[in-house]
Amino acid sequence: MAIAKAERLMNLALCLLGTRRPLSKRELRESIEAYLEAGSDDSFNRMFERDKDDLRELGLVIETVENLDGEVGYMARRDSNRLPPITLDAEEAAALGLAAKVWQQARLAGAASGALQKLRAAGLPEDVDPYEAHSALEPRIPVHEAAFEPLMLACRDRRPVVFDYRKASAAHPEPRHVEPWALECWRGHWYLAGFDRDRGAERVFRLSRITGKVRSRGSSFTAPVPDVVTVRETVASWAGETADRSALIRLRTGAGYPLRAKATSVRERGDGWDELEIPYGHGLDAWLVEFGPDVVVLEPAELRADVLDRLRAVAKG
């Protein structure tokens, strides 16, 4: 919505809500600057009727009545446009309070803080602290990636996007045309799930690998959005969370702590390297490449070959 129209609708809503008697079109036109600049009566009438319909579509209850001069008047009674009281029990208030705290590092922090204050004023018992029930929890989900906000809005509005993405095995980013479905945080990293138009299939993208700006595209979605988007399950399979095999790797001493956290066994070699057994599943080769010269794959042979292929691709780039 253009800023000028949004401002005009806001002024009209304030006039209709603030009056104690019905206002005629003439009075509304004299009260709102944008209507004075509308030009002819026909132009104003068309603009006013569209604005009135838009406000009603947004949920404002506008009454049409006869005023004292015999003209048609309009007003929006406050009691007809007031939300019902918000009632929350302690657990619901705590959950919403925690949700508000999650966004403290994002640009949504101001909106979340304001929403929390409204919760305290409308429905939250004064003797209940929304954090007290979960005092051991201190949720802090970092949102440092510039791509987060435009992708969040694109997911909400069902709007296709284009961005440059660098895979773990590539030296340079490539453009990706994506219909975004959902954003989810998993182990401190944000991921986007969506339909990759170039590959014609569902894909998951790590936001930290998106370079440059996220650009919107005006077209509509071409693929159906699934009822359930399994972001975490997909990423977990990359990291070997669902693996039923083990890989033996050599890891430089003091490096690769995420790999050490996943290891089922660690043996110190004493030569600056350790040998680890870690779960082996789909996508482990891409993850190992991220650790560069600090990792050497010993077995199985197919995993070692996959990692070498990825490293050669990076070297060629």
Summarize pLDDT for 85-98 with one digit per residue, the tens.
666 666 776 666 66
Tokens of 182: 């959902």
Query: Which residues face 184 on adjacent strands?
Result: 191
- Long-range contacts formed by 216-219: CB under 8 A, 24+ apart: 216/150, 216/154, 216/159, 216/160, 216/161, 217/159, 217/160, 217/161, 217/162, 217/177, 218/159, 219/160
> How big is the chain, counted in residues?
317
Maximum pairwise Cα distance, the chain: 98
Residue range 148-233 forms a domain whose CATH class is mainly beta
pTM here? 0.44
The yes-or-no answer to whether 3-80 and 239-316 have a common fold is no
- In this predicted structure, what is the pLDDT of residue 195? 93
Q: Which residues are CB-neighbours of 239 under 8 A, at least 6 positions away?
A: 262, 281, 283, 284, 287
Tokens of 141: 């989900």
Tokens of 116: 């929390």
- In this predicted structure, what is the pLDDT of residue 138? 44
Q: Which parts of the chain register pLDDT below 50?
A: 1-2, 105, 107, 127-140
Amino acid residing at 236: A
Please give the sequence-ordered ranges of beta strands (E in DSSP) within 91-229, or none if there are none.
161-165, 174-186, 189-196, 201-206, 210-216
- Assign a CATH topology to domain 3-80: Arc Repressor Mutant, subunit A (1.10.10)
CATH of domain 239-316: 3.30.70
- In this predicted structure, what is the pLDDT of residue 130? 45
- In this predicted structure, what is the pLDDT of residue 121? 55
**Domain coordinates of the chain in residue numbers?**
3-80, 90-134, 148-233, 239-316
Residue 240 near residue 281, CB atoms below 8 Å: yes
